[in-house]
Amino acid sequence: MRVIITGGAGFIGQKLARAILDRGMLTGPDGADTPVTELVLFDNVTANSLEGRAEVVTGDIADQATIRNLIAGNAASIFHLAAVVSAGAEEDFELGYRVNLDGTRHVLEACRALPAQPRVVFASSIAVYGGDLPDVIEDDTPPLPQTSYGIQKLIGEQLIHDYTRKGYLEGRAVRLPTIMVRPSPNRAASTWASSIIRDPLQGLDYDCPVEPHVPMACLSPRRTAEAFITVHNLPGDKLGLKRTLLLSGIEVKASEMVEAVKRNAGNRKIGAVHWRPDPATMKIVDGWPGEARGARAEALGITPDGSIDEIVRHFIADDLDSIET
């Protein structure tokens, strides 16, 4: 069983790859648990091969020939995570559409050409929501993206629906809340939600670009990797016509993240957080929901973290301890 992760060098790609390798099996095209014999990590930079257990391929997701060659043959499952993140897609309009829209089309077209129908899991985002939002977004909250990134993700979801409807692949899309804590910053507007925890725990001061009251819908990497695998393994009839699942993310304010660091730091000397609101960042995050409640996903066994303290403790155990040693 050949499994491909686009964006395999990224934070979530690496977490997902380890989870798949540790599990050793995924649901195959026939619906039975099948050993994963090949795991391919594709990205525009060289991925960690995870002790040589994964094959690493570098290339441009927006190059059609590259993606056709990557997916050709016997690929059974594709986790499509590759993307230009929110702030990057907003700043570089052409790059965002080339990677996030054209790249997704190339992946789906390569899947359509396969001799057997593959399973495709597409990483979407709660950036598909915007405008005058309720305090909590739910399964029936209508999407109204206010960024290019959110629009590109919403288009990707609809492509998944259409290619599945036509019988070209077995697709499903996952709307992700903010995944934290990242071990290093990226260009997403939500990166502050990781930095405000990661940097102080490493003894570094942090200038936070949002105000203390700003909430974020949060999910840990552990839960995210588990969710991708669960969604992949679901029979198509469990999803029905609606192939997009909203994942629940707990509401955590920036000030609450700071307090969680203090409660869970142990003997570490922690850095200080200085509030330095940035108008451009505030404009983006003010349009995002503070909490996501995906009842469909939860009914299928995909549950959120219990608290911000749990998320912080997972980061310390999974990432920070390994960095320090």
Can 163 be counted among the known catalytic residues?
no
Write the Ramachandran bin of 214: left for phi over 0, alpha for psi from -120 to 50, otherwise beta.
beta
First to last CA, the chain: 35
Nearest partner of 290 among 187, 138, 104, 77, judged by Cα = 138
Which string of b and e fits 195-227 if b means at least 16 CB within 10 Å?
Answer: bbbbbbbeeeebebbbeeebbbbbbbbbbbbbb
Catalytic residue chosen out of the listed positions 97, 129, 149, 206? 149
Q: How far apart are CA 25 and CA 33, in angstroms?
A: 6
Question: Which tokens sit at 180?
Answer: 């934290």
Q: How far apart are CA 321 and CA 33, in angstroms?
A: 33
Active site residues: 149
